[in-house]
Homo-oligomer: A and B are copies of this chain.
């Protein structure tokens, strides 16, 4: 947990009642002011230019995998990871009151939500899916425009708060559907209870470079928690590696591992040390 001024501002992507806003309220567990942003990039910008104290962005879903756009933004941005949280995602099919399943010709939601409900959506006939910028925003849209042949996929909160109806509950492919979020800030201070560090690196073109770069952790008994690769734009088939390890940058063995890693890598960026979220 981060301590800051009485009521910090937290930027998130989407409309109010988006999953990111729900996650922010869980993480801070006190009164916060939330700042809705149109795009993920705008969340990073709001934190960079001080318009918002913190930002919250989804980075991984347990069904569909990483949210690559935010991994890419972490590379470009100057913000640090200050914390993480995860929430269970329940997706519901939401319509204007009076609409029935057989009336629906189009389903709107965020691409991630559409993907999480892939099996349910495949079972519908003559229904088009349209990717929109947000789950909760889709509910607001079909309400504002009174679209009676449309449905949105979003949270229960979004349905309730926009006065709309859930016509099918929990339509995600499997209920073990969690999303992990990073809390980002300009502040790079390591919290006292930090037990996890995230870094990005690219390797030099030498034999066994990837193995050698992982050795720097193994040699110091530092556990690797996750590894992910992303393309190095402009250099086809070369990669940035996103790596999470157990430990924080205040520990000497971690600082030594990073110093050792610098000998092997062409690029290295420490995104931050923070307290890991509970497993579920």
CA distance A206 to B178 in the complex (A): 23
Using Cβ atoms and an 8 Å threshold, which residues of chain B touch A61? 231
CA distance A63 to B208 in the complex (A): 24
Using Cβ atoms and an 8 Å threshold, which residues of chain B touch A234? 174, 176
Using Cβ atoms and an 8 Å threshold, which residues of chain B touch A68? 64-65
Q: Is the CB of A223 within 8 A of B239?
A: no
Using Cβ atoms and an 8 Å threshold, which residues of chain B touch A221? 207-208
Using Cβ atoms and an 8 Å threshold, which residues of chain B touch A111? 111, 131
Q: Is the CB of B131 within 8 A of A237?
A: no
Q: Is A224 an interface position by the 8 A CB rule?
A: yes
Q: Is A268 an interface position by the 8 A CB rule?
A: no
Q: Is A161 an interface position by the 8 A CB rule?
A: no
Using Cβ atoms and an 8 Å threshold, which residues of chain B touch A60? 231, 237
Q: Is A233 an interface position by the 8 A CB rule?
A: yes
Q: Is A229 an interface position by the 8 A CB rule?
A: yes
Q: Is the CB of A226 within 8 A of B229?
A: yes
Q: Is A77 an interface position by the 8 A CB rule?
A: no
Using Cβ atoms and an 8 Å threshold, which residues of chain B touch A176? 233-236
CA distance A68 to B233 in the complex (A): 18
Residues of A whose CB lies within 8 Å of any CB of B are: 60-65, 68, 86, 111, 130-131, 173-174, 176, 178, 180, 207-208, 210-211, 214-215, 217-218, 221, 223-224, 226-231, 233-237, 239, 241, 279-280
Q: Which 4 A-B pairs have the closest CB atoms?
A: A62-B236, A211-B218, A178-B236, A131-B131
